[in-house]
Amino acid sequence: MKIFEYQFNPRVKKDRFLKALSFEPQEEKSERKGNLYFVAELTNSIPSNAPFINKLAQQIKKEYYSEGTSAKAQSNPQEQVFSTSSNFKKALRKGNDFLKKESANGNTDWIGNLHIALIALSPEKGNMQFHFAKIGNAKVWMGRNGSLVDIGKKIETSQAASGAPQGFGNVVSGSAFSGDRILLFTPDLFDFFAQENVLQDLGLFNENKQFRTLFDQKNKELARISGIFFGIVLDSSSAAAESAHPSFGSRLLALRFREPSVPQFSLLKAKVPKMIFPMLRKLPFARAGAFIAKQLPHKSEQKIFTSPFLKPLNIVFKAKQKAFRATSNMPSLWRNILIVGVFSLLLFVGFAFFYQKKNPLSSEAQQSYIQAMSLLAQAETALANNNSQEANRLLQEIWNLAAPYTNETSATQKDREVFEQLMVRINPQLTTLNNIQEINELSPIFQIPESALKNPSHIELADANFYVFNTTSSQVYIINSGNAAHGTNLDIGYSAQIAASLEHGVAFFTPPAQLLLIENEKLSQQLSLSLPDPASSFSSIASFGTNLYFLDSTNGNLIKYSNPASGNTQASFWLAASSSKNPENAQSFSIDSNIWILTHDYIIDRYFKGMYEQTFNISVFPKLNGPAKIRTNKNTPNLYIFTPDQHRLLVLSKSGALIKQYVFPSLSELRDFTISEDGNTLYLLNGNQIYQLHQR
């Protein structure tokens, strides 16, 4: 388990007090009770209330770690019973009593200004159990398998049972597993992270340097924010180890983050033990070399040095000698890493040369193979250093080097065999690093009768209704998700090419300018849009609120129609003239207040308030291919990219990080997809069937 605590500008406002407290008992008697974490903010307060939060926290702590009494304990005073759940609730009541007394004594300064997230973690039944409660607008989120959920929504801040105004109310309890994240935020800081679309990133990070890199990038903006971010990451040993109760508290303390590092805000980093550099034979890339050695034939030492490859090997040896001289003033750890890296590279290059002597590749393949071996050594080094992003990049480069020799008919049989073996070797690593998840056990939730609609190609979801259509028919098939047995056929008079859901109903567009609005399963309006240019050609559509937006592929622009349901047909250019970039080569877009544009080169461009903001390159394995569609909405932290030809759906964070890839090998007729309003459920159109996938 790792604990990350970051306090940003805690003293920037004199009327604001921040406090993050961790109670982690070291005594054997108490450590089995688990740990208590307390994140609080008091705003608009007077200086005399500075100790207020700490007094409240101490009251809660004292009550939580007190011994419970049961009938069994009363008969035997030495046998005390501790219940995490009951003691947590007792601690909350104690906290509410404190708040009630403060109010009775005239201290009402905290009412409406106090924001607290309180969580207890303890080992129970082989898992980690958590209980949490909150006051005010503190945020509690939980991440699991790449998905991030606001579990604090389940708590309604209300009058506590003791009568304390705006005190602790409901308690949420559950189990936490390896890889889970629990994130606590004070209000202003949460709002900032949400606005910057980095919540998903915070839910994926598990190393201090990842947080530091992100905060450094947002350094200027964070200098104006005051608040606390507190993260808990459960590793694979958390649940199993804690069930045996070995030094639960001390292990957490060893991973606390307490050392300030950035002047603009209080950023805390880990104190880690000194690294003892392992022997060469224990390193992962040394094992990789041993693997190659088993696969490739060995040559005698005499033949090696009389081989025609003597010259390039001599160059490598000379470079190695220079590297040794250059490292004389380096710290010993980095000198060891460099030396082992050089030896590793030399080992792979040497094996490559020896292999070619007996099993010659074509000259071009030979150079590619040597390059691939060098990249493999670097990838193994990156994996040993837990740099999965760099390892992924290097392994994809190897794959791209190898693939042409397995596909081209001009390659020799030996070329194909060697590179096919190499691809088989790196495929499991690439699959793991790219979070590929095969989905084979899905059952359809709706069946579209072929008599009602043949070959449906598009699906939209609005007001709990599915709207299914194809681009060659004027028929729209409407399915009420609450009454799947009954579908409605609606003839809209035109064969729609694109469609988008509105707040109520769906808008269908037929070139060059016909817009048809369906509401309550009926055609409500038919409008002829005013085009910004007679040559305009709308290739994609999206909505936000009551407005419709079109991608004009002719001139690379975004066209906005404000509230067409009111009868407005006038177009306006959404993109500002001062924007540094226009949508070019775009194939799809989606809106969540930002506009996200996916290009035919599988690059994502983000625009906001008419201005280009940034670009994300999608680096995934396998490469994206064929038509693609992007979707998101304001309620999900994710971007979804669908490539039906590859039976694949990517889930990305809104900072461009890959969360996971779903692959559907059993769905051979995938056409389109849509997402639920809360973003937690995916709906897939496969032939005449609709499938549902709840994100895990």
User: Across residues 375-403, what is the average pLDDT?
Assistant: 89
Query: How far is Cα 615 from Cα 29, in angstroms, rounded to an integer?
Result: 54
Query: Do residues 92 and 171 lie in contact, with contact meaning Cβ atoms separated by under 8 Å?
Result: yes
- Residue 238 pLDDT > 90: no
pLDDT at 370: 83
pLDDT tens, residue by residue, 165-178: 468 888 888 888 88
The pLDDT assigned to 304 comes to: 31
Q: What is the pLDDT of residue 472?
A: 94
The residues, ordered by sequence, that sit 6+ positions from 644 with a Cβ below 8 Å of its Cβ are 626, 627, 670, 671, 672
Q: How confident is the model at residue 525 (pLDDT cuts 50, 70, 90)?
A: very high
Q: Which residue has the higher pLDDT, 578 or 149?
A: 578
pLDDT tier at 152 (50, 70, 90 boundaries)? confident
Q: 696: pLDDT confidence band, cut at 50, 70 and 90?
A: low
User: Does pLDDT of 604 surpass 50?
Assistant: yes
Measured in degrees and rounded to the nearest 5, phi and psi for residue 608 equal -145, 130
pLDDT of residue 124: 73
Predicted local distance difference test score (pLDDT) of residue 503: 83
pLDDT over 70, % of the chain:
76
Following DSSP, what letter does each residue of 423-487 receive, concatenated? HHHHHHHHHHHTTEEE-----EEEE--TTT-SS--EEEEETTEEEEE-TT-SEEEEEETT-TT-E
Under 8 Å between Cβ of 540 and 587: yes
pLDDT in tens, 35-72: 899 999 999 888 888 899 999 999 999 998 887 544 44
Contact 155, 172 (CB under 8 A): yes
Q: In terms of DSSP bridges, do strands 172-176 and 268-270 run parallel, antiparallel, or are they unpaired?
A: unpaired
pLDDT score recorded for residue 623: 92
β-strands 538-544, 522-528: how paired? unpaired
The answer to whether the beta carbons of residues 133 and 169 sit under 8 Å apart is: yes
Query: Measured at the alpha carbon of residue 231, what is the angle toward residues 230 and 235, in degrees to the nearest 5?
Result: 155
* Most confident residue range from 129-133, 263-267, 281-285, 608-612: 608-612
Residue pLDDT, tens place only, 89-119: 999 999 999 998 888 888 888 888 899 999 9
Nearest to 492 by CA among 464, 463, 460, 535: 460
Backbone angles phi, psi at 682, to 5 degrees: -105, 140
Nearest-angstrom CA–CA distance, 324 and 619: 35
| Helices within 327-412 (DSSP H only) | 332-358, 363-384, 388-407
* Whole-number pLDDT of residue 243: 36
Q: Which residue type does 257 have?
A: F
Eight-state DSSP code of residue 385:
T
Report the phi/psi class of residue 460: left, alpha or beta, with left for phi > 0 and alpha for psi in -120 to 50: beta
Q: Report how far Cα 288 is from the mean position of its chain's Cα atoms.
A: 30
| Comparison of pLDDT for 337 and 673, the residue scoring more | 673
pLDDT for residue 396: 94
In whole angstroms, give the CA distance from residue 616 to residue 201. 14
Q: Which domains does the chain have, with CATH numbers?
A: 2-270 (3.60.40.10), 288-433 (no CATH), 445-694 (2.120.10.30)
pLDDT attached to residue 647: 95
Specify the pLDDT at position 663: 96
Q: Are 449 and 443 in contact (CB under 8 A)?
A: no
Closest CA to 157 of 71, 247, 203, 96: 96
Three-state DSSP class for residue 407: helix
Report the candidate in 350, 439, 337, 318 with the shortest Cα–Cα distance to residue 378: 337
Give yes or no for residue 671 having a pLDDT over 90.
yes
- Tell me the C-alpha distance between 89 and 68, whole Å: 12
Return the pLDDT at 573.
95
Q: Over 80: is that where the pLDDT of 31 sits?
A: no
| C-alpha torsion 51→53→54→60, nearest 10 | 140
Amino acid (one-letter) located at 604: I
Q: 565 and 502 in contact (C-beta within 8 Å)? A: yes
pLDDT digits (tens, 9 = 90+) for 196-209: 888 888 988 888 88
C-alpha 32 chain-centroid distance? 33
| Spatial CA neighbour of 592 closest among 636, 548, 626, 549 | 636
Six-digit token pair at 126?
A: 């082989």
Which run of H or of E encompasses 289? helix 284-295
> What integer pLDDT is reported at residue 306 of this predicted model?
32
Q: What is the DSSP letter of 178?
A: T
Q: Which of 158, 169, 267 is nearest to 223 (CA)?
A: 267
Which tokens belong to 196? 């910057």
User: Rounded CA gap, 166 and 108, in Å?
Assistant: 11
Q: What's the average model confidence in pLDDT over 664-674?
A: 95
- What is the pLDDT of the chain when averaged over all its residues? 79
Averaged pLDDT, 383-400 = 90
Q: Evaluate if residue 223 carries a pLDDT over 60.
A: yes
Q: How many CB atoms lie within 10 A of CB 303?
A: 11
CA nearest 212: which of 165, 168, 258, 262?
Answer: 262
Distance of CA 319 to the CA centre of its chain: 42
Q: What is the pLDDT of residue 150?
A: 82
